A and B are shown apart, each in its own frame.
Chain A
Amino acid sequence: MSIVTVQLGQCGNQTGHEVFSALCSDIRGTHGLCSKKENESYQDACKERFFCEEESGGTALKGFFPLSGSVLSGVQIWFLSMAARSGLWRYNSHSHFCQKQGSGNNWANGYSVHGPRHKEAIMNLVQKEAEKCDRLGGFFTIMSMAGGTGSGLGAFVTQCLRDAFPTSFILNHVIWPYGTGEVIVQNYNSVLTLSHLYHSSDALLVHENDVIHKICAQLMNIKQISFRDVNQVIAHQLGSVFQPTHTAGGGPGYSRNPLGDLMETLVPHPEFRVLGLRNIPQVPETSLAYSTFSWPGLIKHLRQMLIANAQMEEGIDWQVRPPQPGSSTPSTNKPLHFNTSIANLVILRGKDVHSVDLGSFQDPSLYTSWLNPQDAFNAWKTPRAFNKYEKSASLVSNSQFLLKPLDSIVGKAWNMFASKAYLHQYTKFGIQEEDFLDCFTTLEQVISSYTNL
């Protein structure tokens, strides 16, 4: 099954570019550490998911990317030529949609003006891409929530996708901005985006810039961190989720329906759709050759990262423990800082995966009471190593991971809303105060639901 990718805005496009470069260089790498047959199977599965063969013989990405902004030609040409230079893959030259006028960091502009204006052109492109697929496995969008295009146009496009393809899976990869401003109105844009996506998307997979920045600084030892560095870490983490794997119940081949499997395992209830991602180990490339990892060690760390809501492998709080079994009212007795999960998915890649013991993740005390731990936990594995890491473990979690950041964004946006600052910028494009209030209500509901797990 194929996934159609939609990259929106500057962030979406810059990140998306790194993601697919990472996937491509992984499948062509020689570090697979597995049998040739396995490797070929892996390569085919990856290509089937995201890429298609062009008539000219090259490999092109299935998907398209609306770009906007005044440096339009420069940015777009840069991407196309960057990909061409590497020779590994490129964007299909017909699958892009560009407009010169940016959205000016204005969600309302992206959603109410550019969206409807370009709906037909965009949906035609999407239809064409979808038709190219033998079997459409769903849509994967990459966007930021702070700006105007990724967020506003992104929310609009997601809605259109939902209307046009009511039974397809839609996964939105959303980048959360740095806490201290990249954009002043980022909290408004975020609130508007998240609440709208909640109504049309199946799940939101979140990366926070602050977290990735810390990983770059502390784990990867990068001195002068650029957006490219940040995007490469994100690309590695996403790749670790989306590269082919064998699911537990599936047949001998690689899983053919990644988005469907993801939704099935992680989103049992429509009220809870926010997914967080953790990946270990993460070390500078120069240290890789000298590092060894053991599965028990990795699993132990990953589990504690889940429980203590740690964002990376350094600085994990080992004092946090799950509540003792047998408590009568689990939610009130849960110790503070303990991260309750609804569902978890662990993805293991590399040497000796079949011997790994994941029992610790099936501990009922990690989860809410309304799901059977057998259903709440799943594991995907492949012996094929990923991106030069001999062993790599990822955790995709539907839990309270993002409760605090979400609460913070809503709080700051509410604070600004109460003083009515910047509202005239949104009302002039048709987003009124009542629309804001609806969005706040939706998100307060989500916060409340996650808090009461």
Chain B
Amino acid sequence: MEEGVVNEILQGPLRDVFDSKQLITDVSGSGNNWAVGHKIYGCQYRENIVEKLRKTAEHCDCLQCFFIIHSMGGGTGSGLGTFVLNLLEEEFPEVYRFVTSVYPSGEDDVITSPYNSVLAMKELNEHADCVLPIENESLFEIVNKIHQMINSGKLGSTVKQNSLVTSSAGSAKTLQEKPFDAMNNIVANLLLNLTSSARFEGSLNMDLNEISMNLVPFPRLHYLVSSLTPLYTLADVNVPSRRLDQMFSDAFSRDHQLIQADPKHSLYLACALLVRGNVQVSDLRRNIERLKPSLHFVSWNQEGWKTGLCSVPPVGHSHSLLALANNTCIKPTFIELKDRFMKLYKKKAHLHHYLQIDGMEQSCFSEAISSLSDLIEEYNELDATKDGPRIDPSRLKIAV
């Protein structure tokens, strides 16, 4: 809807990549109102959207999945975005739906972001196959870290410029100009690594539908915490194999996660490692063996590792790693979201902006919050098993 933003892209260097016939814009945004995005714009543009989707889908030999990229806190991305998610499930039920969602941080300047996010969460719970939550706070910290590395003077001059995960243009912009560009670049790299096995060859390919298959043990627990390493490459290429092992260690550290979470101290349901570059199966195995003892896996998935090897590394690196974890460390994010929602909801603050929209009722809110609470409860139940004794179920007995 954001005509201004779309126009800016169409004037930029990538204007030829986007088919202008496939764009839908409207003059105003959704006023940070999920209901406006979902109900009003949804209804208004439904046919238009379906038609454009069908047209694009027809061009595909084999349509494997849809990527939805949006934020949760606003109105259009959140409201219309989840409307489109619903639409995709109706029109293309067999095609996987991957959603990259930017979650609002605590100091978010949109007051109604908790409402928007929780309303959107319900849709994600029910209609997405896989969600990769991202938090701006984490992206910002990563950007800062890189900035310090470059400007600290110590090792700064030896960082290879085009290897920065925050920049595609090959030069590090100063922080004051456009921090969002740098932060968005990180997400872009995430998506690149995710799809690398589908675009390049490797000795152990990992399709997108394999990610959903292996990382989603129960339908609603489809939220994956992602981390990317390395963030940059040093220009002097010494000690290659220690750097490789360091890459694996970093993927599990708090600083490299794209949301504010610490998977190492929570419970893993499943973990996927997508490696790119000159890495072989023995390096992968060695590092899994090394890191396994410090990680907690759920009792029925003690060896819950999914691995993929793609031969082509990203630009500027000799190898890279994307780790996707289905881990209970995401629970605090959801709990905080619920708390912020409840703070507003109890006072019924700003509720009238939503309820005055056709199709919105109080029940939409109560259903949404109960959906989120149920999700939190599922994670709680799993956490409860974390430190308990492990009792393996008895096997079938065969009469001899």
Contact status of A101 and B393, CB under 8 A, knowing A74-B200, A184-B306, A445-B398: no
Distance between Cα atoms of A70 and B212 in the complex (Å): 15
List chain B residues, Cβ under 8 A from A75: 201, 205
* B62 close to A (CB within 8 Å): yes
List chain B residues, Cβ under 8 A from A222: 282
* A415 close to B (CB within 8 Å): yes
Distance between Cα atoms of A182 and B398 in the complex (Å): 30
Q: Are A182 and B307 in touch, CB under 8 angstroms?
A: yes
Distance between Cα atoms of A452 and B200 in the complex (Å): 49
List chain A residues, Cβ under 8 A from B203: 14, 226-228
Q: Are B307 and A181 in touch, CB under 8 angstroms?
A: yes
Residues 200-259 (chain B) with a chain A CB within 8 angstroms = 200-205, 207-210, 212-219
List chain A residues, Cβ under 8 A from B200: 71, 74
Q: Are A415 and B299 in touch, CB under 8 angstroms?
A: yes
Cβ-defined partner of A424 (8 Å) among B210, B218, B392: B218
How many residues from A make CB contacts under 8 Å with B? Answer: 53
Residues 142-183 (chain B) with a chain A CB within 8 angstroms = none
Minimum Cβ distance to chain A for residue B33 (Å): 34
List chain A residues, Cβ under 8 A from B307: 181-182
Distance between Cα atoms of A410 and B395 in the complex (Å): 9
Distance between Cα atoms of A102 and B207 in the complex (Å): 7
Contact status of A227 and B281, CB under 8 A, knowing A181-B306, A452-B400: yes
Q: Are B280 and A224 in touch, CB under 8 angstroms?
A: yes
Q: From B60, which residue of chain A is reached at the shortest CB distance?
A: A100
Question: Which of B201, B217, B283: most chain A CB closer than 10 A?
Answer: B217
Q: Are B396 and A181 in touch, CB under 8 angstroms?
A: no
Q: Are B198 and A70 in touch, CB under 8 angstroms?
A: yes
Distance between Cα atoms of A139 and B214 in the complex (Å): 32
Q: Are A444 and B398 in touch, CB under 8 angstroms?
A: yes
Minimum Cβ distance to chain A for residue B15 (Å): 28
Q: From A227, which residue of chain B is reached at the shortest CB distance?
A: B203
Report the stretch among B83-91, B285-293, B330-338, B346-354 that lies at the interface.
B285-293
Q: Are B209 and A102 in touch, CB under 8 angstroms?
A: yes
Minimum Cβ distance to chain A for residue B205 (Å): 5
Cβ-defined partner of B303 (8 Å) among A180, A448, A452: A180
Distance between Cα atoms of A440 and B393 in the complex (Å): 14
Interface residues on B, range: 35 or more
Distance between Cα atoms of A224 and B287 in the complex (Å): 13
List chain A residues, Cβ under 8 A from B393: 414-415, 418
Cβ-defined partner of B210 (8 Å) among A100, A102, A178: A102
Distance between Cα atoms of A231 and B200 in the complex (Å): 21
Q: Are B217 and A69 in touch, CB under 8 angstroms?
A: no
Q: Are A10 and B282 in touch, CB under 8 angstroms?
A: no
* A369 close to B (CB within 8 Å): no
* B186 close to A (CB within 8 Å): no
Q: Are B217 and A421 in touch, CB under 8 angstroms?
A: yes
Q: Are A178 and B212 in touch, CB under 8 angstroms?
A: no
Cβ-defined partner of A448 (8 Å) among B214, B305, B398: B398
Minimum Cβ distance to chain B for residue A110 (Å): 11
* A422 close to B (CB within 8 Å): yes
Contact status of A78 and B304, CB under 8 A, knowing A105-B213, A183-B214, A411-B395: no
Residues 152-206 (chain A) with a chain B CB within 8 angstroms = 178-185
List chain A residues, Cβ under 8 A from B299: 415, 419
Question: Which of A74, A178, A183, A414: most chain B CB closer than 10 A?
Answer: A183
Which residues of A pack against B, CB within 8 Å? 10, 14, 69-71, 74-75, 78, 100-102, 104-106, 148, 178-185, 213, 216-217, 222-228, 230, 410-412, 414-416, 418-422, 424-425, 440-441, 444-445, 448, 452
CB<8 Å pairs between A and B, sample of 29: A10-B204, A69-B205, A70-B62, A70-B64, A70-B198, A71-B201, A100-B61, A102-B209, A104-B212, A148-B213, A180-B289, A181-B305, A181-B306, A183-B306, A184-B303, A224-B280, A225-B280, A227-B309, A228-B203, A410-B395, A415-B392, A418-B393, A419-B300, A421-B217, A422-B217, A424-B218, A441-B396, A444-B397, A452-B400
18 more A-B contacts (CB under 8 A) besides A105-B213, A411-B395, A416-B301? A14-B203, A70-B62, A70-B64, A70-B205, A71-B197, A180-B305, A182-B305, A183-B214, A184-B214, A213-B282, A225-B281, A227-B309, A230-B281, A414-B393, A422-B213, A422-B217, A448-B398, A448-B400
